[in-house]
Amino acid sequence: MKAKLGVSALVLLFLGGLWLVAAPFVVGYQPRGAAYVDATVNDLWVGGSIAALSFVSLVIYAADALRELARRGEHSHD
């Protein structure tokens, strides 16, 4: 149960980070073709960082889960 909650939180953080990256362009406060405004730069850095960290955490969790499954499989053949 705790693992599902943790993975769900990481997925939500990842999606939230992606939204922060896309928001300036979707919502329209970044004018097309203009230099990036401060809010856009902030959203790109914060959103990109959140998305990257949560993605790396999900990959680490998946690798650990696969390692655990492989370890369990080794013991079942004895």
Q: How confident is the chain (78 residues) per 10-residue block, as mean pLDDT?
A: 86 96 92 91 96 96 90 72
Separation CA 58–CA 25 (nearest Å): 27
Task: Please give the angle made by the CA atoms of 39, 49 and 34, to the nearest 5 degrees.
Answer: 30
Residues 6+ apart with CB under 8 A from 9: none
Q: What is the pLDDT of residue 78?
A: 52
For the chain, the distance separating the N- and C-terminal CA atoms, rounded to the nearest angstrom, is 29
**Is residue 13 within 8 Å of residue 50, measured between CB atoms?**
yes
Q: What is the pLDDT of residue 77?
A: 59
What is the model's pLDDT at position 26?
Answer: 93
Q: According to the model, what pLDDT value does residue 73 have? A: 81
Predicted structure pTM score: 0.81
